[in-house]
Structure 1
Amino acid sequence: MFVLDNWHEGANHINGSAGAFFTPSGLAGDFAIDACGGRTIDLCAGIGVLAFHVFWRGYYARGQGAPEREIVCIERNPAYVEVGRKVLPEAKWICADVFDFDLRGLGHFGCAIANPPFGATPRSGSGPRYTGRSFEFHLIDIASDIADYGAFIIPQMSAPFEYSGVQCYRERKSEDYLKFAEQTGIHLEAGCGVDCSYHRDVWRGVAPNVEVVCANFEDMPRNKARSPTDPEAELRALWTEKRAPLDRQDAIIAEVAAKAKAGIRFVEPPVQADLLAEIERSSSKR
């Protein structure tokens, strides 16, 4: 807690140029109320302020004998990762850019969290559907493909409502948000009702107006579970559980489809067995 409250990232890094400002610890503690959902990934994790509070809130709320909440933190700045590993060694830390890294290879998550860089911040890639300029919307678009649920801290102007620092809740959807919602099918909502303005004076180096927004990705049409009688869906679910690389899955599906089109019948399913054996061999080497 001392490190989270006192380590000043601006001492050695020009965060303004990257649009990155670390979440005040008090706001992160309030945010953790909305970050529910089992296995969790923190995108653009910084030194792990959000992940720290989400992990420990879950740790003390878990039932007797229940396993610790698994958290994966993705951060591209190696200096931040070095600090984060000391602050929250219970998490799996990966030094990588969320736009370049194979997030699907990590398996599926119950919850995605982030306080990402804001606005038209330079980035190395884009979300799979959103084509606008806002970094936060690109990141939420990415998160919707790897998690059932998401909780994020974004600029108040990007949220479809105003709640923090105003007299009452009111809807206010910007043109950029409407474009994001239309392109992705994602609709952001207020969570339990955290007034982020309460923590505005304790941000370091900047005092942004922000909101906590949540999204249920599981209910989106493109994420709804496919029929259990669909053999491809069953295979992909099994391979994903075993953390098989997505490109390997696609190659096998394409091979099977090509053989089926050519009229070749399979007397046994060697492909699935071979892939699982390959996964087990690579796991044993680690």
Structure 2
Amino acid sequence: MAKLTKAETKQHNKIMDLVESDKALTYDEKLFIIENFHEGAFTNNSELGAFFTPIGLARDFTIDACTSGSVVDLCAGIGGLSFAMLHMMMYAKPREIVCVELNHTYYKLGKRIVPEATWINADALTTEFDTLFDMAISNPPFGKIKTSNFKGKYTGAEFEYKVIERASQIARAGTFILPQMSANFRYSGRRYFQQDESTTTSKCKKFLDETGLEMQPGYGIDTGYYLEEWKGVKPMCEVVCMEFPEPEPEPAQNLFTFTIE
């Protein structure tokens, strides 16, 4: 766990008082929690790769993730992205949001911050759904995180790619915040956009080749603007947009067996 400063401890205590109270939280109180909750207060967030999206970046993220349909938020944390989708999206509002989060503390906080969503305390990569979502969103844990037994076409160890592959199985499209080196283009923190062989690392190529998926840039969100607003890290990221092929229908089962002589 991270060692909090006196100011961070004071904010943390105020957050816990708000969360543990019986009253419904106001918009400003929810925003206060999102902006000030420290991921490392209860867990080793470095080991888990859990770093929450700055709220300004979450707001900008909705430009690319905009939808009036159904949304699944994988590895939802305390719900920052879903909060932005519901309260900060300019042109639309999802008709439904499902948030999946494995960490029970984050899950409990998220239910208070985004009570409009359906919350599931489970492994985001192995949870089964009986519907196909219009949009999957995620700021997934980055790197070689071992919190799931999910197996897919991708045979590498990068957790963010596993989240994308799982999203491709349950949604029509996806919008993700990824480390810049995990994307196949460069825009954030640069003077111009670049997408070619030199911007596709070997690990990214492996993922794209094995899954057959394609990454696309969005409208041009420079995540470098929010570099100082992350807690404990300063990751240069990219917002990656993807369209997923419709899953193939299950083969029909034969109800009768015929013997032809």
- Greater shift after overlay, 49-58 or 17-26? 49-58
Root mean square deviation, CA, Å: 2.0
3-state SS of the aligned residue for 2:115?
Answer: coil
Render the CA deviation track for 1:125-171: whole Å, top value 9, x for unaligned. Answer: 23421111110111100100111110000100000011000111112
Amino acid at match of 2:73: D
Would you say the 8 A contact 1:190–1:213 is kept in 2? yes
Identity of aligned residues (%): 43
**Map of 2:111 onto structure 1:** 85
Q: Deviations over 1:187-242 (max 9, x none)?
A: 1111010000000001011111111000011xx3xx27x7xxxxxx5xx7xxxxxx
| Superposition deviation, residue 122 in structure 1 | 1.3
Provide the C-alpha distance between the structure 1 equivalents of 2:155 and 2:51, rounded to a whole number of angstroms: 24
Amino acid at match of 1:86: R
Task: Give the aligned partner of residue 262 of structure 1.
Answer: 258
Q: CA deviation at 1:262?
A: 2.4
8 Å contact 1:55–1:69 — kept in the other structure?
no
Aligned partner of 2:54 in structure 1 is 24
Give the aligned partner of residue 274 of structure 1. Answer: none
* Residue 180 of structure 2: aligned partner: 156
Aligned pair in 2 of structure 1 residues 93, 116: CA closer, same or farther (>3 Å)?
same
- For 2:143, the aligned partner's letter is G
Which residue among 160, 164, 178 is the counterpart of 1:136? Answer: 160
Matches of 1:18 and 1:195, distance apart in 2: 25
Larger radius of gyration: 1
Does the residue aligned with 1:119 lie in a helix, a strand or coil? coil
Q: C-alpha displacement at 1:263, in angstroms?
A: 5.8
Aligned residue runs from structure 1 range 233-244, under 5 A: none
| SS of aligned partner of 1:161 | coil
SS in structure 1 opposite 2:65?
coil
Find the counterpart in structure 1 of residue 141 from structure 2. Answer: 117
Displacement of 1:7 after TM fit? 1.3
Q: Which has the higher helix share?
A: 1
User: Are 1:216 and 2:243 matched, yes or no?
Assistant: yes
The secondary structure found in structure 2 opposite 1:144 is helix
Q: Deviations over 1:39-97 (max 9, x none)?
A: 00000000000011012235x634xxxx8620000000111011101111000000001
Structure 1 pair 68–139 and aligned structure 2 pair: CA distance change class (3 A): closer
Deviations 1:85-131 (A, max 9, x none): 111100000000123321x33x1100000000111111322342111
> What is the letter of the counterpart of residue 48 of structure 1?
G
Q: Is structure 2 residue 32 aligned with structure 1 residue 5?
A: no
Report the residue type matching 1:130 in the other structure: Y
Residue aligning to 1:170: 194
Contact 2:70 2:94 in 1 (8 A): no
After the TM superposition, which segments of 4 or more aligned residues of structure 1 sit over 2 Å from their partners?
A: 261-264
Aligned residues of 1:112 and 1:147 also touching (Cα < 8 A): yes
Gapped regions of structure 2 (runs ≥ 5) = 1-30
Aligned CA distance change for structure 1 residues 139 and 127 (closer, same or farther; 3 Å): farther
For 1:15-54, what aligned pairs fall within 5 Å after superposition? 15-37=45-67, 38-54=69-85
In the alignment, structure 1 residue 94 sits paired with structure 2 residue 120: yes
Aligned counterparts of 2:241 and 2:94: Cα–Cα separation in 1: 23
Question: How many pairs does the alignment contain?
Answer: 226
Would the alpha carbon gap of residues 40 and 149 (structure 1) be closer, same or farther in structure 2, given more than 3 Å must change?
same
Matches of 1:98 and 1:68, distance apart in 2: 20
What's the TM-score, normalizing by structure 2?
0.81
> Secondary structure of the equivalent of 1:34?
helix
The one-letter amino acid paired with 2:234 is: A
Could you tell me how far apart the structure 1 residues matched to 2:62 and 2:238 are? 13
Give runs of aligned pairs for residues 169-248 of structure 1, distance below 5 A: 169-171=193-195, 172-217=199-244, 220=245, 223=246
